[in-house]
């Protein structure tokens, strides 16, 4: 495993384990035996950074991670990263209460990396009014958190403001071959490095999209390189090529994914990609941007929908149809979603819109799905 140094001096594995996409049972609970085996394998093979949040898996991720680390006596072997999910705060729940619950669920006395979750300009302004800066100062002074950072889903101007507003040690941004000009993007990465912040890449595979079997045009480009690499390897190597990326978060939930990612991490050194390889990535990026219609990463923050629309699945099938020009995605939509979770159940209530980290106008996009997959204008 390759390790890189964070601003505070910790040496973290370049491959971080994202605890948002564990395999689940039909009732939504985590398949704990399977997830435990996967986490144990990853840690035994050098992964030392685990990223979770209170909202992941409907509140089940933090308790599961805490239980796993305690039962396997691994707390001192890893760095725990979790987040202040500010939209969960209400009149009856303060930041202190939120944080105490997290410590209890994670069965620990301190958090190694604590992030203010999914910021944009509006949420940051509101949090400052609520006293988030004093709260962060307090728990850091109490040594209940070791490093303070933020994750970001907004425009670049607000990003600059947030970076400058506090003494952060790291930030977490969406950084992959498709998002260099989206949200913080490349400009945000360079600004953070300039300001001395460590950078963590989230969605390095765009919610797994970049690891899937690529469209024919992309296949031809990769094949023309003469290199035997999977699509995931190309995308991960691109992220790791940047020296300022301390670690990237992979939502690994299959052992083969974990093994492949660990293998790649051993040799994907900063600056190791050749000029020709980077040109291949540029060509691939242009194809994906041309074919992909909806920038959904499948994070499921938009769920549950009050009207039971399976929003991420609707967008997954819609994108799949356009990426691969394959009618089977229309059949998937009809057979798997049926009348119980289809896009036309949307009544434009808008509750999903503020929850979306990508800023998608979900009701409008669902109308496109309805028009093409259900034949309704």
CA neighbours closer than 13 Å in the CB half-sphere of residue 330: 10
Question: Quick check: pTM over 0.75?
Answer: yes
- Is residue 142 scored above 90 in pLDDT? yes
pLDDT value of position 70:
98
On the question of a cis peptide bond just before residue 304, with omega within 30 degrees of 0, the verdict is yes
- Is residue 233 scored above 90 in pLDDT? yes
Residue-wise pLDDT for 83-107, tens only, equals 999 888 876 569 999 999 999 999 9
Q: How far apart are CA 305 and CA 352, in angstroms?
A: 7
Written as six digits, the tokens of 289 are 């941007």
User: What is the pLDDT averaged over residues 111-117?
Assistant: 97
What's the mean per-residue pLDDT of the chain?
Answer: 94
Where do the structural domains in the chain lie, given as residue ranges?
Answer: 3-290, 311-374
Tokens 């939504």: give the residue.
28
Cα angle, residue 149 at apex, residues 168 and 249 outer, rounded to 5°: 140
Written as six digits, the tokens of 196 are 């001395």
Which residues have a Cβ under 8 Å from the Cβ of 176 and sit 6 or more positions away?
201, 203, 204, 205, 206, 210, 235, 238, 239
Q: Minimal CA–CA distance to 261: which of 17, 6, 4, 10? A: 17
CATH of 3-290, one of 3.30.43.10, 1.10.1760.20, 3.20.20.100, 3.40.50.300: 3.20.20.100
Whether the CB-CB separation of 126 and 162 falls below 8 Å is answered with no
pLDDT value of position 366:
95
Measured over the CA atoms of residue 183, residue 8, residue 109 and residue 72, the dihedral's sign is positive
85: phi then psi, degrees, rounded to nearest 5: -85, 90
Ranked by mean pLDDT, the top range of 41-50, 205-214, 296-305 is 41-50
First to last CA, the chain: 52
User: Could you tell me the maximum CA-CA distance found in the chain, to the nearest angstrom?
Assistant: 59
Using pLDDT thresholds of 50, 70 and 90, give the confidence band for residue 285: very high
- Which residues partner with 3 through β-bridges? 13
Using pLDDT thresholds of 50, 70 and 90, give the confidence band for residue 248: very high
Q: How far apart are CA 24 and CA 31, in angstroms?
A: 5
């Amino acid at each position: 495993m390759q390790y890189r140094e964070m601003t505070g001096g910790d040496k973290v594995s370049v491959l971080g384990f994202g605890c948002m996409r564990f395999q689940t049972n039909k009732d939504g609970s985590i398949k704990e035996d399977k997830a435990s085996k996967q986490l144990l394998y990853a840690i035994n093979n050098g992964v030392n950074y685990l990223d979770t949040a209170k909202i992941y898996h409907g509140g089940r991720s933090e308790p599961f991670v805490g239980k796993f680390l305690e039962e396997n006596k691994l707390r001192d072997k890893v760095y725990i990263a979790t987040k202040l999910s500010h939209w969960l705060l209400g009149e009856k729940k303060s930041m202190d209460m939120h944080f105490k619950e997290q410590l209890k669920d994670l069965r620990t006395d301190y958090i190694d990396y604590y992030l203010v979750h999914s910021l944009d300009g509006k949420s940051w302004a509101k949090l400052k009014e609520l006293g988030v800066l004093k709260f962060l100062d307090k728990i850091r002074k109490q040594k209940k958190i070791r490093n303070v950072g933020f994750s970001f889903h907004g425009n670049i101007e607000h990003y600059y403001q947030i970076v400058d507003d506090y003494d952060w040690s790291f930030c977490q941004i969406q950084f992959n071959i498709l998002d260099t000009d989206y949200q913080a993007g490349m400009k945000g990465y360079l600004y953070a490095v300039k300001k001395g912040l460590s950078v963590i890449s989230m969605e390095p595979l765009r919610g797994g999209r970049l690891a899937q079997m690529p469209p024919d045009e992309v296949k031809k480009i990769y094949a023309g390189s003469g290199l035997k690499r999977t699509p995931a390897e190309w995308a991960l190597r691109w992220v790791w090529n940047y020296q300022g990326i301390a670690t990237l978060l992979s939502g690994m939930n299959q052992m083969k994914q974990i093994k492949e990612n660990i293998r790649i991490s051993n040799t994907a050194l900063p600056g190791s990609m050749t000029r020709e390889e980077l040109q291949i990535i540029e060509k691939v990026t242009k194809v994906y941007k041309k074919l992909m219609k909806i920038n959904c990463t499948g994070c499921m923050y938009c769920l549950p929908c009050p009207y039971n629309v399976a929003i991420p699945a609707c967008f997954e099938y819609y994108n799949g149809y356009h990426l691969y020009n394959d009618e089977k995605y229309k059949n998937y939509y009809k057979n798997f979603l049926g009348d119980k979770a289809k896009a036309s159940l949307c009544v434009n209530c808008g509750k999903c819109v503020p929850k979306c980290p990508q800023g998608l106008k979900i009701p409008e996009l669902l109308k496109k799905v309805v028009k093409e997959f259900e034949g309704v204008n």
